[in-house]
Amino acid sequence: MPKKEIFIVLPYLGFQSKIVTQQLKSCIHKFYGCFNPKIIFRNTRRIKSFFPYKDRLSRSLMSKVVYKASCWDCNDCYIGKTKRRLHDRKTEHFKALTSNSHSSAIADHMTQTGHKIKWDHFDILATGQSDIHCKIKETLLIRDLKPALNENVGSEKLLLY
């Protein structure tokens, strides 16, 4: 009687996978002799998910993100998106502090209230594959979270139905 093939799909564990395969096969052979196991490994997690700490450090280098800036002194926050590196966008907000251009709601909040913004704690709320993708996510997040500092921003509005 031919052995019945069974397929076992497991997350890929690097070199450990070889050991797991051998153990699993011998175990099945021993206890379930009528089966012929085929073991398949899949990459279910991205490499970077193994390095959450490193990832956090390199947040500023990420691009195409929707970010949230919060205030140390009140509950106000601002949601924005950038297709460039978050660090570059942050620098722009910072420069707006001295330029008097009112090009940054964050800078305006600081000059109007004397509050301090959490420059080192910009949260990344979402990432996108393209600028328009980010714009859609930004619009939805602003709609849902209603960040106070976005209220007076006259940026282009994306209409979503």
- Please report the DSSP string for 31-42 in residue order: H-TTEEEEEEEE
CB of 106 to Zn ion, least distance (A): 10
Number of CB atoms found within 10 A of residue 113's CB: 12
Q: For 50, which DSSP code? A: G
We find the least distance from the C-beta atom of residue 76 to Zn ion, in angstroms, to be 5
Give the Cα separation of 70 and 106 in Å (integer).
9
Beta carbon nearer to Zn ion, 104 or 137: 104
CB nearer to Zn ion: give 77 or 134: 77
In the complex, least distance from residue 145 CB atom to Zn ion, rounded to whole angstroms: 16
Q: Which is nearer to Zn ion, 136 or 153 (CB)?
A: 153
Binding site for Zn ion (CB under 5 A): 71, 73-74, 76, 115
Rounded distance, CA 36 to CA 54, Å? 42
